[in-house]
Structure 1
Amino acid sequence: MRFVLASQSPARLGVLRAAGVDPSVVVSGVDEDAVAATLTDPSPAGLVIALAVAKAEAVLETVAGTHSDAVVVGCDSMLSIDGEMLGKPGTAEVARKRWALQAGRTGDLLTGHAVVRLEGGEPTRRATGSHTTRIRFADPSPEEIEAYIGTGEPLEVAGAFTLDGFGGWFIDGIDGDPSSVIGISLPLTRRLLAEVGVSVTDLWSR
């Protein structure tokens, strides 16, 4: 059985490999904004789950062509602050505005997961869920924020920060699952795998 990660995130891949799973990577190429636009007033958890489902479903045909027996995992993360859901900033200007908003405050990092079980090349079982972790942001100086933006790291990550990279210097603490903040919650993924009849220990590289 193959574990397939429907994500191009090196952070998610790193978490899985450190936890004993060496997945195949198939990038979904899903237009997140287009998917979100189809939803009617979703809850924060509903939004990240819907995006995760879209990513997992988008790669099923490709995966089935090479692995008849597999589990496909899609993920999506967003930061909720002041009731607004924030994804990847994309530009330095947006990242600067995000940090002006969140510095010295708290926010909720939501990660949605979707797991699809393929048997005989056909999807047979599905499971979804989300995890929320409270983030306590430090209050970096303007010079520190500019230096951080200059690394390019916050432009391509949800909430314009990381826990496991340069951004870790500016996170005072978290309440929840650290792996979820990095991009894929190991406890949640283990539970969802069990729902589709797969034990995570059977996926470990030995």
Structure 2
Amino acid sequence: MTPPRTPLVLASASPARLQTLRNAGVEPVVIVSGVDESVLDGLPPLELALQLAELKCAAVAERDELPEGALVLGCDSVLDLDGEALGKPGHPEEAVRRWQAMRGRTGVLRTGHCLRDTATGRVAAATASTTVHFADVTDEEVAAYVATGEPLAVAGAFTVDGLGGAFVTGIEGDHHNVVGVSLPLVRDLAAELGHSWTDLWTRR
């Protein structure tokens, strides 16, 4: 396996983001930022997602172990429901409350993306937004889903690529963004910094 011409560092512990990039031909180096996401509590969803992505990207871009000439990608997702930013619920009671509010309704999954070129110091950042329609799930379905533990550690308390997929009746926009990283947006950000998306592919 020949390494890509432009190495990508993913500043995220999300297995879903990693798998999405791998499925698209990119094998990133994962370096978790360790950023305290609570420092920006209270911001509107769009601003929160973008600023958290910028913080994560900046934190990892300062590390010594980066590959030479790497692009560092920071991402963060929140569900925008009636203007409230819903991140990871953290505990079962909150996950149940979220689903009772979400079911039968529509939210917007907002994922901030920040890409830094460590060779030049240039940064490109933007937020992708995807509309998500939720099924009118029953109390029994909510309880069973929360009991699996899946919703506790994901933005908005749901996944579209896991057990929660049956509870999402439709999306409008980029499907990958709901998983956690918008591939078309990352391509655009890379181009803004003078890099081709195909230079990120791992050569086989």
TM range (shorter): over 0.9
AA of the residue aligned to 1:44: P
Aligned residues: CA RMSD: 1.2
Question: How far 1:53 moved relative to its partner?
Answer: 0.3
Matched with 1:76 is 76
Matched with 1:113 is 113
Question: How far 1:43 moved relative to its partner?
Answer: 4.1
AA of the residue aligned to 1:132: S
- Give the whole-Å Cα distance in 1 for the aligned partners of 2:55 and 2:98: 26
- Give the whole-Å Cα distance in 1 for the aligned partners of 2:128 and 2:34: 23
Structure 1 unaligned regions, length at least 5: none
Quick one: percent identity of the two aligned structures?
A: 53
Q: Could you state the TM-score of these two structures normalised by the residue count of structure 1?
A: 0.93
- Residue aligned with 2:121, SS: strand
Matched with 1:170 is 167
Matched with 2:180 is 183
Q: Deviations over 1:142-191 (max 9, x none)?
A: 11111111111000000000000000010000001000000000011100
1:55-204 matches, within 5 Å, as 55-62=56-63, 64-119=64-119, 123-204=120-201
Distance verdict in 2 for CA 1:92–1:184, change over 3 Å: same
Determine if contact 2:122/2:193 at 8 Å carries over to the other structure: yes
Matched with 1:20 is 25
Question: How far 1:97 moved relative to its partner?
Answer: 0.2
Runs of 4+ in 1 over 2 A off after TM superposition: 41-44
Question: How far 1:3 moved relative to its partner?
Answer: 0.3
- Give the whole-Å Cα distance in 2 for the aligned partners of 1:66 and 1:128: 20
Question: How far 1:96 moved relative to its partner?
Answer: 0.2
Distance verdict in 2 for CA 1:42–1:149, change over 3 Å: closer
Determine if contact 2:89/2:157 at 8 Å carries over to the other structure: yes
